[in-house]
Structures are given as structure tokens and as C-alpha cells.
Amino acid sequence: MERYYFHSSIQTHVVPLGHNFEALENQFDIIIIGGGIVGAATLYKLQMRHPNKTILLLEKEGALADHQTGNNSGVIHSGLYYKPGSLKAVNCIQGRHEIVAFAKEYGINHDVCGKVVVATDASELGNLDRIHKTGIENKIEGLERITSAQIKEIEPHVEAIDGLHVPCTGIIDFRGATEKMAEVALAKQSNTKVHLNETALDFIKNENGAEVVTNKGRYNGKVLVFCSGLQADRLAKKDGVDLKEKVVGFRGDYYELTDQGKHKVKHLIYPVPNPDFPFLGVHFTRMTDGEIECGPNAVFTFKREGYGKTDFDLKDTMDALTYGGTWKLFMKNMKFGINEYRRAFSKKLFLKTLQRMIPDLTMDDLRPGRAGVRALLLRTDGDTRDDFRIEYTDHSIHVLNAPSPAATASLAIGEQVAKMVEERFEL
């Protein structure tokens, strides 16, 4: 039998196992399903708190962070927008401090470069006031109301009437951070493993915890922790969680600035978001590799892990269309949805949105970029604005809703899950 192991060198190795060794190898204290940043942060936190415990992390792709984590905007969010006291607010702020400290300690590419949120129209001033107030309540360090002249000093090409400066926002290589979290945990305990290319298929409760059946083998864990992003609802149901909600995917397409356009953006430029939606609006982001991205839009997708504009998956589509929450979402947001679809296929419309902040941006300044898909737990009433959500059974913990800013908040979420494991289970 061949099995894939993930070692601290972040490479995939093939290790043949003997039968007796295998029996021992298949017992773990904790099994984590999903190798995005939430799974890796949970692994890291659990291992640091319990150096003697053995943990298995299963990831179905050939690398960590291949879905939401590796395709996001790469922004370390400040915590500006989230309802004071909510899990998003508390974990984002704590997680931001932790991820910056982690990046410094382990040399992860990052830069706390700050961002501006800009109002370009008087109709946005009410929402700008509301965000400013929330930011003050959330004690966002250095948050300042700035005039159009001050905005120009920071971002000379932006035309705006009012704005906020958020100096503690930053950018980071989230994929690099994810890999490093796993690497540090693996170095701490030699019997902890990360298996890539291994899909968890079934979960069978037993007297010691549960057995996980994968496409390659079977493993016993005293506790299972699910951090499976776009598949969270399906795996929760498979594990016996009575979940009414479903995960829906919203694809976000990006454009990149060409060399001729790059000088028009210095750091991060965000519009004032519409509070009716869980998205921050199409923004400009300087990435850690020096590229400047513009996006993402938000298009309902018929393939959860599909990154092309016309990607389609029958199971995902049937799942979405047989769920009442999806139709309620469509009915409530018909106009927004149609506009987003039109913008997804029209560079001209995308440019028009961007020109609201930077009027001198031209078609030649933009080239098509990549895409990411956000997982949002859609409520039965069609609302997607829920807080982070973590639930547990008698043998498992499920991270059911971890949309943005969960990458920023990952170490705080990992800490919270580790505490839940300690409080609810005997390891």
C-alpha cells in the first residue's frame, strides 16, 4: 500500500508501509479534515498546546490552501466592519495580531501597509459614518476619518469626497502562512501527519471516538475536527449533524493592473460596502508578490470548487436549486445578481466600477486575472450574512461557516477550536 505524507519540507513523499506499522499509524488523538488555513491553524494551535498528542490532517487536494485560502485577496483585515462583540469582530482583531506576529516570527511575506475606504458619492456618506462608528467601537488602532485631500496624499489617483484611513490593515501570503503552520506542527510531533491527495468520505462513530474512511484507508481519532470550507455542510450531514442550512459558493473574478497601470495604486483602496451584502465590494489590492489586483465581484456559482466563468457541476447545481434558501436569495437580490453576472462577462462594466474610485483608469490598464470562490452558509430565509459558526457533536467539532475575514482570523479560530476540544473531549 502506498500513502502520501506531508513533511516539514512541504513536499509530497510516497512511503510504503508494512501491515503492523500501519495499524499503529492509523490511530490518532485528533483528525482534522481540510487543509485550508483554518484547518492548518487548528492543527498548529492544538499541537502547540498538546505537544504529545498525535494529529492527522487530511486534505483532498495535492497541496494545502488550494481553495478559498489560496485564492483570496490576501488582505489582513483590521476588523473594521464587523458587528462589535460578534465572532467575526473578536476573532478578526485577535487573529490579526496573531497572524502578524506569526508572519514576523516565521518570515512569511507580509506588509502592514494600511488601506483607505473611500466614498465617491454623497449617497455613501451614511454608510461611511456607520462603518466609522463600528470601527471606533471595535477599537481599530489608528482609524481616522480623512478628507479628499488627505486621501490624495495616500492614493494620488483616487477621486473621493470623504474616507477612512485604516493603518493596521495589511497584506500577506496566506498560502505561505498555511504551509508554515503545518510545518511547525509537524516539527513538534513526529507522529503527527499531513496527508495530501486524501479525501475523507465517511465517518463512523465508535466507542473511542470515530473512524474516518478515506479514498486510501481508515483512521481512528478520539476527536474529529472539520474545517472543510466549501464542503462543510455535506461533511457535517455525513457526520450526523442536523443542519438545515446549505453552503453556497460565490465566485469572485479578479483583474490585474498591467505595468502601465500599476503606478495608479499605492496600497489598498476599498469602496464603502453595501451593508445588505456580505461582500466588501470590488477593491484594489497590492499583493505580496508586487502585483496589483482589482476585484472580486460576487457571482452565484453552480460549481462550488469551479473557478471558470462557465463552470458547472450537476450535483452542486441540484443541491443549490432544490434548497428553498437559494430561491429566497435570488428573489431578494435579483437586481444585484443580474448586475454581477453582466459585470463578470464585461471588462467595460468592471472598469466602470473601478473608475468610480480611480477615474483615469483605462481598458489598457487591466488584464484578466484569477478567480476565487467564497463559501457562505446560506440561511433558510436566504440570508448569507451569518457570523462564524462552529458546532460540535459527541465525537466531533464542525467549523460550518468561516467566510471572510476567516483567513485573518484563522489563528483565533484555531485557538477557539482547541479550547472546545479541551473542554468537551477527553484526549
Ligand X SMILES: Cc1cc2nc3c(=O)[nH]c(=O)nc-3n(C[C@H](O)[C@H](O)[C@H](O)COP(=O)(O)OP(=O)(O)OC[C@H]3O[C@@H](n4cnc5c(N)ncnc54)[C@H](O)[C@@H]3O)c2cc1C
Residues of the shown chain interacting with ligand X in the complex, contacts defined by CB under 6 A? 33-39, 58-61, 65-69, 71-75, 77, 199-200, 227-231, 235, 252, 296, 372-374, 402-408
Please list, in sequence order, all residues whose beta carbon lies within 8 angstroms of the beta carbon of residue 52, skipping any fewer than 6 positions away: 189
65 vs 162, which CB is nearer to ligand X?
A: 65
Q: What is the DSSP string of 15-64?
A: EE--HHHHHHHTEEEEEEE--SHHHHHHHHHHHHH-TTS-EEEE-SSSST
134 vs 214, which CB is nearer to ligand X?
A: 214
Query: Least distance to ligand X from the beta carbon of 198, Å?
Result: 7
Query: Least distance to ligand X from the beta carbon of 225, Å?
Result: 11
Query: Least distance to ligand X from the beta carbon of 197, Å?
Result: 9
In the chain, the amino acid numbered 117 is V
Query: Least distance to ligand X from the beta carbon of 227, Å?
Result: 5
Query: Least distance to ligand X from the beta carbon of 38, Å?
Result: 3
Q: Is 308 exposed, middle or buried (0-12, 13-18, 19+ CB in 10 A)?
A: exposed
171 vs 272, which CB is nearer to ligand X?
A: 171
Q: In what order do the strands lie in the sheet with 75-76?
A: 75-76, 170-172, 110-111
57 vs 151, which CB is nearer to ligand X?
A: 57
37 vs 377, which CB is nearer to ligand X?
A: 37
Beta strands per DSSP E along 41-137:
55-58, 75-76, 110-111, 115-119
120 vs 285, which CB is nearer to ligand X?
A: 285
Query: Least distance to ligand X from the beta carbon of 376, Å?
Result: 10
Q: Closest CB to ligand X belongs to which residue?
A: 36
CA angle in degrees (0–180, nearest 5) for 102-103-106: 80
Q: At what angle do helices 406-424 and 87-106 cross, to 10 degrees?
A: 100
